């Protein structure tokens, strides 16, 4: 076999190899792009499902079967109370109607609604230190967030507000997590610890 024929054969083999490589790589890219890859197709399907679940037309209403998660943020005590309930009063309402009720809509889907509401009160059921007239007092927070005296003869202390530092007066007036307690004993202990020396014992 002549050298010329050998060169021709080698050139043909080289062209075939290059052509196959190019065709193979193109086929792989096409396979990935058109969604034929099972893993890619699955991911694409998952994304589409998530979008469908989280999309909520502003004109649509909350489903009666939706679960509602309420995050109530008590500003005075800087804590959040999470509650789960059925759709209840929110069933049939739009996003705008819910926002008009004072809630921030954090998430809304056909199956679940997550709402947040900020309220400038202490958490109901707690005991807090506050001001009654000219004196410090221990209050119980009722179900509406109002501060009530359970027994004036015991709840109002002998500590005069005018003897307090202005910073403490501001906190007692505006509210602070440092002045909220689970029990009356906790509130009374805090008063003895922070303001005990101001009690008129004469």
85 and 100 together in one domain: yes
Q: Report the alpha-carbon distance of residue 103 to residue 88 in Å, rounded.
A: 15
20 and 41 together in one domain: yes
Judged against a pLDDT cut of 90, whether residue 20 lies above it is answered with no
pLDDT at 98: 93
165 and 188 together in one domain: yes
181 and 167 together in one domain: yes
Which token pair is 132? 């009654």
132 and 194 together in one domain: yes
Least confident of 21-25, 31-35, 178-182: 31-35
Q: Report the alpha-carbon distance of residue 103 to residue 22 in Å, rounded.
A: 59
Please give the mean pLDDT across all residues of the chain: 82
Judged against a pLDDT cut of 80, whether residue 30 lies above it is answered with no
45 and 63 together in one domain: no
109 and 165 together in one domain: no
Q: What average pLDDT does this structure show over 95-104?
A: 93
138 and 187 together in one domain: yes
79 and 42 together in one domain: no
pLDDT digits (tens, 9 = 90+) for 126-161: 999 999 999 999 999 999 999 999 999 999 999 999
- Domain closes at, from 29, 53, 77: 53
* Residues contacting residue 152 through CB under 8 Å, at least 6 positions apart: none
159 and 176 together in one domain: yes
CATH of the domain at 76: 3.10.20
Q: Which domain holds residue 190?
A: 127-198
Judged against a pLDDT cut of 90, whether residue 174 lies above it is answered with yes
Judged against a pLDDT cut of 60, whether residue 88 lies above it is answered with yes
In the chain, how many domains are there? 3
Q: What average pLDDT does this structure show over 80-106?
A: 92
102 and 144 together in one domain: no
Q: What is the pTM of this model?
A: 0.65
pLDDT at 196: 81
Q: Report the alpha-carbon distance of residue 83 to residue 72 in Å, rounded.
A: 8
Judged against a pLDDT cut of 50, whether residue 52 lies above it is answered with no
Is the CB of residue 188 less than 8 Å from the CB of residue 156? no
Q: Report the alpha-carbon distance of residue 144 to residue 105 in Å, rounded.
A: 23
Between residues 10 and 201, which one has the greater pLDDT? 10
61 and 102 together in one domain: yes
Q: Report the alpha-carbon distance of residue 143 to residue 122 in Å, rounded.
A: 10
pLDDT digits (tens, 9 = 90+) for 112-121: 999 999 999 9
Judged against a pLDDT cut of 90, whether residue 40 lies above it is answered with no
């Amino acid at each position: 076999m002549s050298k010329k024929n050998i060169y021709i054969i080698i050139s043909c083999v080289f062209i075939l190899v290059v052509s196959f490589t190019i065709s193979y790589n193109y086929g792989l890219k096409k396979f990935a792009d058109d969604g034929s890859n099972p893993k890619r197709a699955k991911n694409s399907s998952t994304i589409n499902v998530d979008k469908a679940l989280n999309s909520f037309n502003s004109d649509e209403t909350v489903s009666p079967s939706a679960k509602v998660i309420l995050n109530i943020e008590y500003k005075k005590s800087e804590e959040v109370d999470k509650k789960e309930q059925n759709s209840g009063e929110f069933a049939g309402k739009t996003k705008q109607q819910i926002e008009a009720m004072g809630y921030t809509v954090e998430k809304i889907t056909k199956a679940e609604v997550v709402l947040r509401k900020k309220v400038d009160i202490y958490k109901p059921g707690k005991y807090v230190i506050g001001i009654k007239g000219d004196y410090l007092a221990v209050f119980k927070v009722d179900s509406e967030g109002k501060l009530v005296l359970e027994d004036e003869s015991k709840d109002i202390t002998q500590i005069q507000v005018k003897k307090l530092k202005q910073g403490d007066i501001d906190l007692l007036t505006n509210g602070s997590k440092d002045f909220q307690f689970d029990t009356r004993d906790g509130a009374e202990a805090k008063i003895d610890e922070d303001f005990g020396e101001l009690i008129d014992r004469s």
